[in-house]
Amino acid sequence: MSQKLFGTDGIRGAANIEPLTPGSVVNLGLAAAKILGNSDLFDRPKALVGRDTRASGEFLEAAITAGLASAGVDVMQSGVVPTPAVAYLTTRYQASFGIVLSASHNPFEDNGIKFFGPDGYKLSDNQESAIESAFYEKQFNSSGRVGRTRIMRDAVEEYVAFALTTVPKSFSLRGWKIAIDLANGAAFRTTPLALDRLGSDLAIQASEPDGVNINKECGSTHPEALSALVQNTGSALGIAHDGDADRLLFCDERGDPLDGDELLAIAAAHLVRRGDLRANTVVATIMSNFGLDALLHRLGGKVLRTAVGDRPVIETMVKNDLNLGGEQSGHLIFRDFVTTGDGLISALQILLIMDVTGKRLSELRAVLEKYPQEQRNIPVRGKLPFEQFPAIMKQLGSAEALLAGSGRVVLRYSGTEPKARLLLEGPDQGILKRLADDIQGEIEAALGS
């Protein structure tokens, strides 16, 4: 077993393989109870547990609940709900902490475990390290009491009701034809319910989860599926989520996808015009297009850059008291309303902007002039330091020298998958493609799976 449980977004791996086995997950519940259910802070510690639609989520839910309850923690099971719903419900019910069982956009064979604190924010590195130490050293509480388990009957309804409070009561989508792709995931009930209550006419796909079809050729990682649905149904736009619905993808009325950078640009421009973008600043990761920086500069603002992942984005937003941030992948954080990426609430904010401005997405997206990018996701058999491979470093150096002053090169490992992520940005797409081919060739020769 690896000596590091947590990656960039909780614990993730193949279900039923260490550490995501029943025994280890029971022990993880015991460790979490010791660190997060401190009896000095809570008379009766309480945890809220939710999951996505993966078949493995059922036994993982049972295992984590067993560990928590045996350590004296009362457990509220929300069942299948989006990740951001767990963050919201944790605060609503004043739970000591929240737990999500999901592997987001990964295939159904994988699963994962994410934690939220009582404030609805993800745990700090120190808290995750403390859980790891307790887990590996088996430092568990010996409790004289046993926690009780309660199944929440209204979790979906309560989350949807909250989401609808983030738009004006007068806001209506009557007369709007909207295509939605629910990835056979955690949003299969919540997003249709919210949009239906606003009066929209829905064309729906990938809304029948069977435990193994989550993210399978659908959802936000398959824009071609949403694009086809928009075009085939004559919809005004399309919305797709990933498996746990903390991110989203939009397609405009022509079926052309918009990424997170374009959505951030639309939201930023709108908030600036209203005087509601705090410090005229947006938080984005190193992967976001530098056209975003140019836009904010024109608007009299700026972009703060972070490492990849929604947690670094949120931490920077909190530190600087900012209210808009996100990732190119479609994680958007409207911090006036939420503490984490929320696909439904982000969708509602973009729909509201469309309604207020009277513009279609194809018009709104024009606010961002993108710099050409070339991105590659390269499978690897191991995550050794790139510096150990002179041929890789030589190609990187050549690319950086050629793009110096007019572009950039970013190479990193995925925190959730066995892949190397390569990004090149510059003025000429053809040059970027050639450079990316050269670098990818050396990575595959040295580390290819």
The set of catalytic residues is 104
For residues 355-365, one letter each, b for 16 or more C-beta atoms within 10 angstroms of the residue's C-beta and e for the rest, the string is: eeeeeebeebb
d(CA 317, CA 281) in angstroms, rounded, equals: 10
Q: Could you tell me which residues are beta bridge partners of residue 98? A: 48, 116
Q: How far apart are CA 106 and CA 353, in angstroms?
A: 31
Spatial neighbors of 437 by CB under 8 A, at least 6 apart, are: none
Sign of CA dihedral 26, 29, 34, 39: negative
Angle at 13 between CA 284 and CA 413, to 5 degrees: 40
Q: Round to whole Å and give the CA distance between 32 and 98.
A: 10
161: CB partners within 8 A, 6+ apart: none
- Tokens 């619905």: give the residue: 245
User: Which residue's structure tokens are 């928590």?
Assistant: 68
Q: How far apart are CA 343 and CA 365, in angstroms?
A: 18
Q: Encoding tokens for residue 210?
A: 């069977």
Query: Which of 410, 163, 191, 196 lies closest to 289 in space, CA to CA?
Result: 410
The answer to whether the beta carbons of residues 205 and 251 sit under 8 Å apart is no
